[in-house]
Structure 1
Amino acid sequence: MIRIAPVGRALAVVAATSLALTACGGGGGDTATQTSPSSAAPASSAPAAKGDGTLTLGTLLPQTGSLAQLGPPEFAGVDLAVKEINEAGGVLGKPVTKYDTDSGDTSTNIASQSVDKLLAQKVDAIIGAASSSVSLSVIDKITGAGVVQFSPANTSNELTTVNDRGLFFRTAPPDKLQGRVLGDLVVSDGNDTVGILAMQDSYGTGLADQVTQTVTDGGGEVVERVDYDPKAADFSADVAKIKAKNPKGIVLIGFEETTKVVQELVKQGLTSDKHKWYMVDGNLSNENFLKFPKGTLDGVKGTYPGAAAPDEFRKKLLGINKDLKDYPYASESYDATNLIALAAEAAKSDAGTDIAAKLIEVSKTGEKCKNFKECADLLKAGKDIDYDGVSGPVEFNEAGDPAVASIGIYQYGKDNTYPAKAVEYKNGNISG
């Protein structure tokens, strides 16, 4: 079902207030972490359809699973925003309350259990998940409860057209933009024959489709594409199919299982000094690569959505989590939190449906501002605002996607680490 245009989205969020979802009790052991005192509601209680005057946020971000490496910077981005919001007086005159939960990955039911817990706490908005497939597995439960779901990292094209009742937003651009930038990069590097190894899920196949189209449009040929099972114990047969076609360029689209794929590529002689390798946001910051012999990934390039995190912002994040080494999607998480808070201020309500109705408005066509306090002061003065965040301008289109976004192109060195800053940034229109 096609996502709803602005008027339709408004009608949808109003209609969603009449919907309530009874949350099923989650299994023990994964308790939500709250940042302000609150008594836990019974797991069977339905979330409130109307706001109670306190903006309550939940995070559904990876503490475990195939994207666990993205969790720390995402949590830090949310925590920094909440800290600054509360220091500026909070939302609607009250401190923001936050509960943290684990999204896990699609191999478990952790995300569904976490959502149940957050809905039982009567959250107004949920920030997450990082994985598009995880979001797709819980979006009906979240939006059916009249709660905003706002992902800082979902890139699947499928989420543009999902029936979300006008309640799903994201600060990360859809894969069609990353796919275009990656495909153009592959072709411009002189690869007229290309092999693709992509994990078989909405993220992997969607991104592989766009790369295939862009490579083909650019005069190249995808001579072999393998959509593999990321849970497979062995990838020798998948890599052998690529080897049989001997492509100049090899695109790797996946998560942490890419470690095993790379090992198999090396084993079968498809090393990065003989074939040009390319990666994506799901596997670029894989710490397992540091265990490989030096030079294994030397010169390998990859794409990552989002603008560079400014140095000042990184210093603030380290004040939240001193152990941070990488910053993927920290900016997007920070901006998601601020936008939700500003939309609540603009709506004069913390109800999820009211927040959703104002998110597009606070993201564009008003007076520009760059942080919560600055923007909130403008709202209190009766002015329209245009929040320009750390991750970029974040101007939402009618689908809840950022209309314009940046994609960074990164390159590994001989020590198998990629630089903190991109070699180059490509800006593009999502509809372009």
Structure 2
Amino acid sequence: MLAEPHHIRRAGVCSAPRRRRVRWLETGLVVGLASLFSASCAPEEPHHPENAIVLGTLLPFSGSESAIGRNLEQAMLLAVQDLNAAGGLDGRPFHLRTRDSHSSSERGLEGLLELLFTDQVRYLIGPEENRLAREIAREVKALDVFHMLPGYAAPAVARSEATGGWMRLAPSSFDVGCTLARIAFDEGIDTVNTLASRDDYNTTVSSEFTTHFAALGGRILPSVTFASGQHTYVSDIESAFGASAGRTLLASYPTAGSTIVTEWAVSGRPGTWFLGPALRTEVLLANIPTGALDGYVGVSPSLSLRSECRTTTEGPQAVDCTSGNAAAFIERFSSFWDGEAPLPAAHFYYDGVVLIAMGLAYAQAKSGVIPTSGHELHAIIRELNDPAHEAASWRDLPAALTKLRAGIPLRYVGAAAEYQFDDYGANRHYFMQLWTVDGDALVDLAPVAVSCFGGR
């Protein structure tokens, strides 16, 4: 295990079975891991300044998606640290309250309800799970809570509401499916199918991919869905590759994906893969035979800023991008967390925290009060990120907050993107990142343009 940074200390953890993780940050200091249990283990209540601005988040620290939870939390803790070091909200610190979704809809819903009704957070970030985000929509609207959705698997934002405020940061499954379909079509592939996990996000990616490919004139062969958590997927693999498609999209999370790839390699490696966004992680590579996926192409959100990219004359999707901004964030994250690297999704989670803080700071400067209405904050963040406004970088938050406190509107140039939102609160994306596998390493290829504007 990596050593904790010098500025981190963690409280003791009781071993009771129903554990809830709560982490918090006060005045720039990450303070402990608290646990609340049954009567057999005395509760350890979190302490934070009474005037702190509380941001609530639900992440998977246990269960099938546990590989990503800690990394995403680290990104948000870093954002809170940076904001508090820059003076917070006119002197008031930000505080992150985290609960565990357990990678479970039932237990995750319980955690979300606790954030809303027990912790009474007004600013909610996540969850990573698509289904949970949908299930909590009624409560978010009824309570008029602001709901930031940084994750890849977050539901689409495609309607306006009079109460509540939803903002989506990462590209949607529509963008992912469209890009993969265009790549397959441009490569001259005639037929495709999918092997997809039976969860909201991956089945939607699968559906968007086949729908767009059919619209381009390609032919769809029978696809296969599976339930994650199985001991073996041999029959699912045989069914998917028995169709002899020109390309098969593997749309799943890393735990199931690594088992599938391993069993596929053992069976003789039939067919050819496309790899879904959730598989772009070292966790997958650490649990498959080295070289099993060499040369297979995946797609994920581009972390190059729009200003770092330019189209070329080599083709309708060809883009030339640099990645200095993303590299700087990776260095910042790694130095803070003793060498750990952020997942691509972590860039968006960092930005989600900062976007909320910027909106609150600007609103307070203009009206003298901090908005608790999700609908109001939604409109303010959209207004701030007008392309005509002066840019403010994540690299210099003290300067950004100083100007916002003076009532100067700023658009945010974040760790993942230069943000520009549509009328519903979905960030506009213009490029996607292609990647491949080389041995035990993930290798970025050239980005491509998103050619399906007007999507969800």
Q: Same fold (TM over 0.5)?
A: yes
> Which residue identity is paired with 2:349?
S
1:339 aligns to 2:329 (yes or no): no
**Larger RCO, structure (CA 8 Å, separation 6 or more):** 1
> Which residue identity is paired with 1:259?
S
Work out whether residues 99 and 118 of structure 1, in 8 Å CA contact, stay in contact via their aligned partners in 2.
Answer: no
After TM superposition, give the deviation of residue 299 of structure 1 in Å. Answer: 0.7
Aligned to 1:102: 100
1:29 aligns to 2:27 (yes or no): no
Taking a change above 3 Å as real, the CA distance of residues 230 and 62 of structure 1, as seen in their structure-2 partners, is same
Given candidates 168, 178, 192, the residue that maps to 1:194 is: 192
Aligned to 1:366: 389
CA–CA separation in structure 2 for the residues paired with 1:138 and 1:206: 19
> Which residue identity is paired with 1:402?
N
Aligned to 1:92: 90
Taking a change above 3 Å as real, the CA distance of residues 161 and 279 of structure 1, as seen in their structure-2 partners, is farther
1:321 aligns to 2:337 (yes or no): yes
CA–CA separation in structure 2 for the residues paired with 1:156 and 1:215: 23
Unaligned runs of 5+ in 1: 1-26, 44-51
Aligned to 2:416: 391
> Which residue identity is paired with 1:418?
L
Aligned to 1:266: 265
CA–CA separation in structure 2 for the residues paired with 1:156 and 1:164: 21
> Which residue identity is paired with 2:260?
V
After TM superposition, give the deviation of residue 373 of structure 1 in Å. Answer: 2.7
Work out whether residues 196 and 225 of structure 2, in 8 Å CA contact, stay in contact via their aligned partners in 1.
Answer: yes
After TM superposition, give the deviation of residue 119 of structure 1 in Å. Answer: 4.0
Work out whether residues 141 and 163 of structure 2, in 8 Å CA contact, stay in contact via their aligned partners in 1.
Answer: yes
After TM superposition, give the deviation of residue 333 of structure 1 in Å. Answer: 1.0
1:426 aligns to 2:448 (yes or no): yes
CA–CA separation in structure 2 for the residues paired with 1:376 and 1:332: 19
Aligned to 2:148: 150
After TM superposition, give the deviation of residue 223 of structure 1 in Å. Answer: 1.3
Given candidates 281, 292, 298, the residue that maps to 2:294 is: 298
After TM superposition, give the deviation of residue 62 of structure 1 in Å. Answer: 2.1
CA–CA separation in structure 2 for the residues paired with 1:163 and 1:229: 34
Work out whether residues 127 and 149 of structure 2, in 8 Å CA contact, stay in contact via their aligned partners in 1.
Answer: yes
Taking a change above 3 Å as real, the CA distance of residues 135 and 323 of structure 1, as seen in their structure-2 partners, is farther
Root mean square deviation of aligned Cα: 2.9
Mapping 1:245-264, distance limit 5 Å: 245-255=243-253, 256-264=255-263
> What is the aligned-residue identity percentage?
21
Given candidates 330, 338, 349, the residue that maps to 2:346 is: 330
> Which residue identity is paired with 1:207?
V
After TM superposition, give the deviation of residue 129 of structure 1 in Å. Answer: 1.3
Unaligned runs of 5+ in 2: 1-16, 38-49, 305-324, 365-369
Work out whether residues 258 and 283 of structure 1, in 8 Å CA contact, stay in contact via their aligned partners in 2.
Answer: yes
Work out whether residues 165 and 378 of structure 2, in 8 Å CA contact, stay in contact via their aligned partners in 1.
Answer: yes
CA–CA separation in structure 2 for the residues paired with 1:257 and 1:108: 20
CA–CA separation in structure 1 for the residues paired with 2:326 and 2:350: 13
CA–CA separation in structure 1 for the residues paired with 2:75 and 2:201: 23
> Which residue identity is paired with 1:260?
T
Aligned to 1:47: none
Taking a change above 3 Å as real, the CA distance of residues 98 and 260 of structure 1, as seen in their structure-2 partners, is same
After TM superposition, give the deviation of residue 95 of structure 1 in Å. Answer: 1.1
CA–CA separation in structure 1 for the residues paired with 2:353 and 2:430: 18
Aligned to 1:351: 372
Mapping 1:138-287, distance limit 5 Å: 138-155=136-153, 158-161=156-159, 165-255=163-253, 256-269=255-268, 271=269, 275-285=271-281, 287=283
Aligned to 2:126: 128
Mapping 1:409-420, distance limit 5 Å: 409-415=434-440, 417-419=441-443
> Which residue identity is paired with 1:327?
L
CA–CA separation in structure 1 for the residues paired with 2:384 and 2:237: 47
After TM superposition, give the deviation of residue 111 of structure 1 in Å. Answer: 4.4
Work out whether residues 56 and 98 of structure 1, in 8 Å CA contact, stay in contact via their aligned partners in 2.
Answer: yes
Aligned to 1:424, the other structure's residue is in SS state coil
CA–CA separation in structure 2 for the residues paired with 1:334 and 1:279: 25
After TM superposition, give the deviation of residue 355 of structure 1 in Å. Answer: 2.4
